[in-house]
Amino acid sequence: MKSAAFAYHAPAAVGEAAALLAAHGERARVLAGGQSLVPLMHRRIERPEHLVDLNRVAGLDRLEAGPEGLRIGATARQRQVESDPAVAARWPLLAEAIAEVAHPAIRNRGTVVGSLCNADPSAELPSAALALEGTIVAAGADGEREIPLADFFTGPGETALSRSELALELRLPAPPPRTGSAWLELARRGGDLPVAGVAAVVSLDADGRCERVRLVCANAAPVPLDCRFQAEALLGAAVDEEGAAAVGAAVAAAAGPVDDYQGSAVERRRVLAVLVRRALLLAAERAGGRS
Amino acid sequence: MSEPGRISIELTVNGEAHRGEVEPRTTLADFLREELRLTGTHVGCEDGFCGACTVHLDGASARSCLLYAVQAAGREVRTVESLAGPDGELHPLQEAFRRNHGLQCGFCTPGMLMSALELVESRAGGDPPDEGEIRAAIAGNICRCTGYQGIVEAISEALDDRAGTAE
Ligand SMILES: Cc1cc2nc3c(=O)[nH]c(=O)nc-3n(C[C@H](O)[C@H](O)[C@H](O)COP(=O)(O)OP(=O)(O)OC[C@H]3O[C@@H](n4cnc5c(N)ncnc54)[C@H](O)[C@@H]3O)c2cc1C
Ligand code: FES
Ligand code: FES
């Protein structure tokens, strides 16, 4: 189908984009890569009267890695981030998760920030970015504010952004030393949204004991499921099969996955238990200290 | 002056400057096919899933059904029509598809070619990709006819030929 008619705006600056959103509120939508929004507009599930295209806002495609962390602008493409050497070296979880998103032509257009704003609980990037303790910088008519991802996802397709705000960038802190990570998912076909997915980040102390752990599951709840509480049972010891399997079992019990055509809730819990165990072991191994 | 609700755009398609007047909701795919009469770009699902509408925008493959034509203003679009020479001689990639039975009905072929082209051009001079990489490059392009084997062989042969001529 074809999109319903709308007025098209291509602001050149952030202030102009924020003013358009302030003026049109609920009747406007932000267009980033368009890989989720445009299909919804063609199907007329979304019928904005105003479309605010961020693609001509100067500087929003920035991708900057520095000592304090990584900044990914709102129009930085998934493909650009995935193939960046600094991302591969310091935030490999992100590159690994992006590689599972759709296909090359979709990633050439789709943005990392757009995937977070889209807030699909089954998608890779919301879970991966939450495990990396990201923060969204949002801009509205009254200026900018920072929203930690822990407070950002409020429901399927819903975020803490108001309709008059846009997300300017994602910030990821620099990971501590001796940190390893893993993104694992089960999907029906490569490039499909996962039946279930797991992001694990493990940091070890000098003696190879788990010092810090982050674990987030995709498609396990209406929002990316933060399983840090379950994973912290691993603190203070080497990450081994038994410990990782126990966390997997605890996560499967805590998860509230959906029952749909891609998999039943029972199947998803089983898959989660396995993926969590494998992801924790792999992350610990990559951190350099699997005993 | 453009009619109310319509926007004038200028863009480059296959190296030629074009101008047009579009409604904001007109997709790039429909603009190419209906205004410029470049009907090589096919439209299947209009949903991003089938890949038949794949073109290159500023050198990167993109779904033309998920781009509004206004977004291509001032940019460079390349379609399947750019591949064959002026007298109709086939591009090496098209030639390889022909030799390896990489198409039957041909509906998916323009998108397949444009996805494969991105792989071939990005690998010029580098290591030839293995079969897994070739399959990943076209995984977003659906073919109901061939079973993909001939397509993968065609792309593989085009990559080998490139490597051969580069020596
Ligand atoms: C065939 C196909 C397969 C796909 N497979 C996957 C997959 O396996 N995994 C996956 O995760 N995704 C998948 N996707 C979705 C794709 O990854 C999208 O790129 C992503 O979900 C959204 O990013 P975008 O930049 O395209 O956002 P858009 O489509 O432009 O926007 C998505 C939503 O976020 C809002 N938004 C975007 N940017 C901002 C901003 N800066 N500020 C405020 N609001 C904003 C928009 O208003 C809209 O509501 C697939 C898409 C297609 C077409
Ligand atoms: S028509 Fe564009 S992907 Fe199917
Ligand atoms: S040749 Fe018929 S769809 Fe591919």
ipTM, two decimals: 0.94
Measured from the CB, is residue B45 less than 6 Å from ligand 1? no
Residue A90, in any domain of the structure: yes
Same domain, A111 and A160: yes
Same domain, A14 and A97: no
Structure-block tokens of residue B41: 């770009």
Same domain, A157 and A233: no
Give CA–CA dist A72/A191, Å, rounded. Answer: 22
* In chain B, alpha helices (H): 28-30, 92-99, 109-122, 131-137, 149-166
Arithmetic mean of pLDDT, B52-74: 98
- pTM score of the predicted model: 0.96
Position B126 pLDDT exceeds 80? no
Residue B125: its pLDDT value, please?
72
Structure-block tokens of residue A198: 């797991």
**CB contact B48 to A (< 8 Å):** yes
Same domain, A198 and A258: yes
Position A283 pLDDT exceeds 90? yes
Position A290 pLDDT exceeds 70? no
| Beta-carbon contacts below 8 Å between A and B | 83
Position B151 pLDDT exceeds 50? yes
Residue A128, in any domain of the structure: yes
Orientation of helix B109-122 relative to helix B149-166, angle to 10°: 30
Position B128 pLDDT exceeds 90? no
Q: Which residues line ligand 2 (CB under 6 A)?
A: B 43-46, 48-53, 63, 65
Same domain, A189 and A283: yes
Residue B127: its pLDDT value, please?
79
Residue B2: its pLDDT value, please?
57
Domains of chain B: 7-82 (3.10.20.30), 92-166 (1.10.150.120)
**CB contact A191 to B (< 8 Å):** yes
- The closest alpha carbon to A82, from A96, A69, A72, A62, belongs to A96
Arithmetic mean of pLDDT, A91-118: 98
Arithmetic mean of pLDDT, B125-152: 93
A83 exposure class (CB count in 10 Å sphere: 0-12, 13-18, 19+): middle
Q: Tell me the CA–centroid distance for residue A269 and ligand 2, in Å.
A: 34
Arithmetic mean of pLDDT, A90-119: 98
Tell me: the pLDDT tens digits for A41-80?
Answer: 999 999 999 999 999 999 999 999 999 999 999 999 999 9
Structure-block tokens of residue B147: 């079973």
Q: Tell me the CA–centroid distance for residue B55 and ligand 2, in Å.
A: 11
Domain CATH for A239 = 3.30.390.50
Domain CATH for A35 = 3.30.43.10
Residue A72, in any domain of the structure: yes
Tally of domains within chain A: 3
Residue A123, in any domain of the structure: yes
Same domain, A219 and A243: yes
Residue A217, in any domain of the structure: yes
CB A36 within 8 A of CB A118: yes
Structure-block tokens of residue A275: 């993926």
Tell which of A149, A173, A197 closes a domain. Answer: A173
Residue B164: its pLDDT value, please?
55
Same domain, A203 and A141: no
Q: Which amino acid is at A92?
A: P
Tell which of A143, A173, A203 closes a domain. Answer: A173
Q: Which amino acid is at B91?
A: H
Residue A2, in any domain of the structure: no
Residue A58, in any domain of the structure: no
Same domain, A37 and A125: no
- The residue range of the domain holding A139 is 63-173
Same domain, A193 and A283: yes
Q: Which amino acid is at A154?
A: T
Tell which of A153, A173, A193 closes a domain. Answer: A173
**CB contact B23 to A (< 8 Å):** yes
Residue A81, in any domain of the structure: yes
Structure-block tokens of residue A284: 């610990």
Tell me: the pLDDT tens digits for A164-200?
Answer: 999 999 999 999 999 999 999 999 988 999 999 999 9
Same domain, A69 and A90: yes
Measured from the CB, is residue A101 less than 6 Å from ligand 1? yes
Same domain, A84 and A118: yes
Residue B167: its pLDDT value, please?
41
CB B101 within 8 A of CB B150: yes
Same domain, A148 and A193: no
- CA distance to partner chain B, nearest, from residue A174 (Å): 30
Position B162 pLDDT exceeds 60? yes
Position A1 pLDDT exceeds 90? no
Residue B165: its pLDDT value, please?
53
Question: What residue's CA is closest to ligand 3, atom 3?
Answer: B143
- The closest alpha carbon to A281, from A245, A230, A233, A252, belongs to A245
Domain CATH for A117 = 3.30.465.10
Give CA–CA dist A73/B129, Å, rounded. Answer: 31
Structure-block tokens of residue B91: 């591009």
Position B99 pLDDT exceeds 50? yes
The DSSP annotation for A129-160 comes to HHHTT-EEEEEETTEEEEEEGGGTEEETTEES
- The closest alpha carbon to A199, from A107, A290, A134, belongs to A134
Residue B109: its pLDDT value, please?
98
